[in-house]
């Protein structure tokens, strides 16, 4: 069977892969994409998007329960988990179809099936229709990652869940244990707590959302505890025993005391495993704990073979994957003689968002990281309670923190917790990308009344000039 030839083949159609394919096609290249399951990958089908749909339902339910706080009345309200899941799956389906439309619009050939490399730039695609042989001048690996199982209790989809099971639960939990307090764990803890489930979060490290600024972690823990979530930090789950009606968990707390507790279900959110096995790349790339090593443009050690997204070193975020996809596509196009100007990814300006209640968002260094890096710092902090729009929204809990280099005025990092902060963080991200200083941020006019005014006030506070608090 002869190989079908392309300029670029992308293996995987998640937010890194399909964006890379589109950008390569925009630059005049003949492009194919290989996908074994659903166009859009984990993010659109089983991650970022459907979870946000579920969290939105939980948010609306929360507001309905507090209708009297807004001068309204709502009676006999309830959370219908089956309907919530149905809506989220509908959102995922709509976006999956949207990616299919984008492939057609950009004249990208889609090959559905399991892809496996047979050489530096060739692969086979196996499906129920048989086997295809494909070849290209360049191949981009965008195979993503999957949930990491607990070594002593792998997910069964019935009592022990990964994020995927938690999005299409067979039943509503009555008492839920969430292991791990990164973004995935905390978002599901927040969702299930909001719809009335008793939730316990166990985190091995000494604080939740441990990659965030310590002040954010402390505030979020207090907020979640106030909402009724039990948070155990510095604790570990040592064993899970699954029974007919639930799971018995053996937990060692921060004092070293071991106890057992009963839960109806468990969500394991202890990290990810890259999808780099069994795709024929063992001799083609260098790996670190299974993740493919790349240069700033996405090149692997093998000429013509590139990698992006969650199969490469972190942070493991959809928007980072998309940006890497654009960079790799432009770098390939340049090598093929096209008018392209690739820019390497700036890892210091990648925002992170957690869509719990309250939300968390950040970009750049934490205060501790800035000091460890040798910076003399100026730190600003402005609370939601000092903002008129936040009070009007009934969302007066939270703060915005900024970290500057005291000598140069460089914005080193920004950290937020509170309502809609995931929509605010991009302002600081643009600032970091443009190498903004405190003076430029101070001289920027922020609209009133908006939550964004707190961004301005936090900057002012770092230099002793806050107006409204």
Query: What residues act catalytically?
Result: 448
Mean pLDDT of the region 226-247? 97
User: Residue 379: what are its φ and ψ, rounded to 5°?
Assistant: -120, 130
pLDDT digits (tens, 9 = 90+) for 137-193: 999 999 999 999 999 999 999 999 999 999 999 999 999 999 999 999 999 999 999
Mean pLDDT of the chain: 97
DSSP one-letter string for 213-244: -HHHHHHHHHHHHHTT-EEEES-EEEEEEE-S
Mean pLDDT of the region 99-125? 97
Mean pLDDT of the region 298-309? 98
Within 13 Å, how many C-alpha atoms sit on residue 217's CB side?
Answer: 19
Q: Which pLDDT does position 457 carry in this prediction?
A: 98
Distance (Å, rounded) from C-alpha 217 to C-alpha 211? Answer: 9
Q: Which pLDDT does position 3 carry in this prediction?
A: 82
Q: Which pLDDT does position 69 carry in this prediction?
A: 96
Distance (Å, rounded) from C-alpha 355 to C-alpha 178? Answer: 16
pLDDT digits (tens, 9 = 90+) for 43-90: 999 999 999 999 999 999 999 999 999 999 999 999 999 999 999 999
């Amino acid at each position: 069977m002869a190989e079908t030839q392309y300029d670029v083949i992308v293996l995987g159609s998640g937010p890194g892969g399909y964006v890379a394919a589109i950008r390569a096609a925009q630059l005049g290249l003949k492009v194919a994409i290989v996908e074994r399951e659903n166009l859009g990958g984990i993010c659109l089908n089983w991650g970022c998007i459907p979870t946000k749909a579920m969290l939105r339902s939980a948010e609306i339910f929360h507001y309905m329960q507090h209708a009297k706080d807004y001068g309204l009345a709502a009676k006999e309200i309830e959370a219908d988990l089956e309907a919530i899941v149905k809506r989220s799956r509908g959102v995922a389906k709509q976006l999956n179809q949207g990616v299919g439309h984008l492939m057609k619009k950009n004249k990208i050939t889609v090959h559905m099936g399991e892809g496996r490399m047979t050489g530096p730039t060739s692969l086979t695609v196996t499906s129920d229709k048989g086997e295809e042989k494909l070849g290209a001048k360049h191949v981009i690996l965008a195979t993503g990652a999957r949930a990491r199982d607990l070594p002593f209790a792998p997910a069964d989809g019935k009592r022990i869940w990964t994020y995927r099971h938690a999005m299409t639960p067979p039943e509503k939990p009555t008492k839920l244990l969430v292991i791990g307090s990164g973004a995935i764990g905390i978002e599901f803890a927040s969702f299930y707590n909001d719809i009335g489930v008793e939730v316990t979060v166990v985190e091995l490290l000494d604080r939740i959302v441990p990659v965030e600024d310590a002040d954010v972690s402390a505030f979020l823990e207090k907020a979640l505890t106030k909402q009724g979530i039990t948070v155990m930090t510095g604790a570990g789950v040592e064993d899970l025993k699954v029974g007919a009606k639930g799971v018995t968990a053996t937990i060692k707390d921060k004092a070293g005391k071991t106890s057992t507790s009963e839960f109806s279900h468990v969500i394991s959110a202890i990290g990810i495993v890259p999808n780099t096995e069994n795709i024929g790349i063992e001799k083609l790339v260098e790996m670190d704990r299974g993740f493919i090593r790349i240069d700033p443009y996405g090149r692997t050690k093998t000429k013509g073979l590139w990698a992006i997204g969650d199969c490469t070193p972190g942070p493991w975020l959809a928007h980072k994957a998309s940006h890497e996809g654009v960079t790799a596509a432009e770098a390939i196009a340049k090598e093929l003689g096209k008018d392209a100007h690739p820019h390497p990814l700036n890892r210091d300006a990648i925002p992170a968002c957690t869509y719990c209640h309250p939300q968390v968002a950040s970009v750049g260094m934490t205060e501790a990281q800035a000091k460890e890096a040798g910076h003399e710092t100026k730190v600003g902090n402005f609370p939601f309670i000092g903002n008129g729009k936040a009070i009007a929204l009934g969302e007066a809990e939270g703060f915005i923190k900024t970290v500057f280099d005291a000598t140069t005025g460089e914005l080193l990092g920004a950290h937020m917790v509170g309502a809609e902060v995931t929509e605010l963080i991009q302002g600081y991200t643009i600032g970091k990308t443009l190498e903004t200083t405190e003076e430029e941020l101070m001289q920027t006019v922020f609209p009133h009344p908006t939550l964004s005014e707190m961004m301005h006030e936090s900057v002012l506070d770092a230099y002793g000039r806050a107006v409204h608090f």
